[in-house]
Amino acid sequence: MLDDLHIHDFYRDAGRILLALFGQFPAPSTVYVEDIAGPDTPDEFGLHSPRHLACLGAMTWLKQSGYIGFGQLVRQEAVEEAVLSHKGFLLLVNKLESGESNAELLNSAVRGGSSPQLQELMERLMREFSAL
């Protein structure tokens, strides 16, 4: 079986990025990779860790997939003028039968949920996003 730790990291990073932008919506903001993935220690050549680069990749993927928009990368440290897309916003404000919004569920899963719980939620949100 493949080690899918990188997928769990992706779900957690993507969830944190979406929540950070939801908390600032509709104002564009700068999102720093270290705020999402944690501190990074570049190597002796100044290259970032694979974990840092994976988080940066999650930011880029969210943009390419239409969840968020941003103006530009700031080196490999942050994205500027980041904001949820229209569909990204609708996804997060959608309320379930329980009365909780997807944003509330995502916040709970990112802050205290298990990796399988977060994975299940993120996959449901991605399916829901595709249907918007």
| Residue 12: both structure tokens together | 């957690």
Question: Which residue's structure tokens are 């440290």?
Answer: 77
Give the global pTM.
Answer: 0.92
Task: Report the C-alpha gap between 61 and 113 in whole angstroms.
Answer: 23
For the chain, the average pLDDT equals 92
| Residue 98: both structure tokens together | 């329980």
pLDDT grade for 1, boundaries at 50, 70 and 90 = very low
What pLDDT digit, counting tens, does each position of 31-42 carry?
999 999 999 888
Q: For the chain, what is the domain count?
A: 1
- What pLDDT does 38 receive? 92
Q: What is the mean pLDDT of residues 29-56?
A: 91
- What pLDDT does 113 receive? 77
